[in-house]
A and B are shown apart, each in its own frame.
Chain A
Amino acid sequence: MKKVEAIIKPFKLDEVKESLSSVGSSGLTVTEVKGFGRQKGHTELYRGAEYVVDFLPKVKLEVIVSDDNVAQVVETIEKAAKTGRIGDGKIFVLPIDEVVRIRTGERGDEAI
């Protein structure tokens, strides 16, 4: 089992979610996050005073998938979140030791 973690542009969230549903992914957790990478901050203007904002708003989504589905899920997110411009984000894949569905007590792939 793996966790696929993706940092994406906020306006791409709906598209990514729908693409994941269409390939049969059954769950998703999202968090509003801020950060920066190669895309630098932006300028904000309040009463003539300019502020450079370093941390840009992004969305982090987390999906737990069985080993068989990792490649497909990663590819789906990659396609749906891509604009081709700087700041599209990153995808991380991490190992998961165990998954428990609290309601039924199922373990492992069953619980995904």
Chain B
Amino acid sequence: MKRSHPTTATPFRRALCTALVTPLAVLTAAGAARAQDAPAIDSGDTAWILVSTALVIMMTAPGLALFYGGLVRRTNVLSVLMHCIMSMAAISIVWVVIGYTLAFGPGNAFIGDLSMLGLAGVGVEPGEGETIPPLLFMMFQGTFAIITPALIVGAFAERMKFSAFLIFTVLWSVLIYSPLCHWVWGGGWLGDDGALDFAGGTVVHISSGVSALAAALLIGKRIGYGHEPLPPHNLPFTVAGAAILWVGWFGFNAGSALGANGSAAIAFVTTNTAAAAATLGWVSVEWATRGKPTVLGAASGAVAGLVAITPAAGFVSPMSAIAIGLGGGILCFFGIRIKEAIGADDALDVVGIHGVGGTWGALATGIFADAAIGGTDGLLYGNPGQLWIQTEGVLATMLFCFVGAIILLKFTDVLVGLRVTDEDEMQGLDLSEHSERAYGSID
């Protein structure tokens, strides 16, 4: 999803398009030819990115909001919905004011500069090699900035103060998300090193997963964790949320082609294929080891597969997507046990799904990437070096986000305190933090 993503179809892509959808191939070729003359808006590309941007917004709310909302107890569902909707509101403002320029301003290898502060100079005329308005690119990127901190919410659900959540989320977005996004997509050192991340395996999923681990460790376990059941209160919410995420992910991944082109088609197919394979993978392992196939397992597996394919979506074949999805579903099924081993109450399994799935996806990209499809060749196509570059990207992201999140959480703790009182926690955050109740008082 780099700013200057080439929109010219590769020979392979063009052949594929001709075989499958000739009219589209003609349009794409025509669009590419125009782009070579002078930068101009391509209406097809622009239309698809407008739609994709809306799809990714939908992932945070209602997608993630319902997915997480169903997993908490009935006395905390509103607090989780509030976290998601407020991430949307707060980061929308942060992004247009300062986040975008820190991520995509020229700057240096580590962070952008302030040249586009308040979107200065971000207009509608495309630059060299671009076919969509820069303003639209900014908004598409903004939707990624919104969902990433919202993913972390699952780790500290049911016990964090709302004020602490808000401060941490804003600081995290400015001081961790924007620089990391710059490293990978904004002209920073990881992108320059050749690290492949089609739609955010490192930027979105490893970053949120590792920060979630830091948050779960620092804020401590929920009262009752480990010795009384803290079961999900509404699995239909969770399944509906997962289904919305699945659909929204087409905007996330296929939109990251930044055009209505062959790369988008490939990302669309690999995304759906990996989600399906991961659903089957998770449910099969669960059935075999725990005796029952569960609907929460199916929903979790789907999300795990979507996470895993994210960095690879435009770089791998549909057959590789089956392998990546299956791997994601199975690894994440075991990944959610990590929290027991290290004693962190990652309430909604952000580490197990986004951390583990994102890491697997980033490494799998270095294994399965095929230059004939997009990007660079990976291990299986004779380029083992790519796997090393991917590993470097994973480790650097983990280190930066973990240490960064710890510092920001400590700072927030000093400022307002991270955790509500025991009494408030037992009453539930809906009443104690928001003076509202989702359901009737008797039940």
Contact = CB atoms under 8 A, between A and B. Distances in A.
**Which bracket fits the contact residues of B?**
10 to 19
Contact of A47 (B289, B291, B292, B336): B336
Interface string A28-69: 000000000000000011111011110000000000000000
Contact of B336 (A48, A50, A51): A48
Nearest to B332: A47
B113 interface: no
A47 B304 CA distance: 13
A45 B290 contact: yes
Interface string B411-433: 00000000000000000000000
Looking at chain A's contact residues, the main secondary structure is strand
B300 A47 contact: yes
The size class of the interface chain A forms with chain B is under 10
Contacts of B349: 47
B81 to A, nearest CB: 20
B297 interface: yes
B232 interface: yes
B232 A46 contact: yes
Interface in B210-254: 229, 231-232
A50 B232 CA distance: 12
B286 interface: yes
B297 to A, nearest CB: 7
Interface of A: 44-48, 50-53
26 contacts: A44-B229, A44-B231, A45-B290, A45-B291, A45-B292, A45-B294, A46-B231, A46-B232, A46-B294, A46-B296, A47-B296, A47-B297, A47-B300, A47-B336, A47-B349, A48-B286, A48-B289, A48-B290, A48-B333, A48-B336, A48-B337, A50-B290, A51-B229, A51-B231, A52-B229, A53-B229
Given A45-B292, A45-B294, A46-B294, 9 more contacts: A45-B290, A46-B231, A47-B336, A47-B349, A48-B286, A48-B289, A48-B337, A51-B231, A52-B229
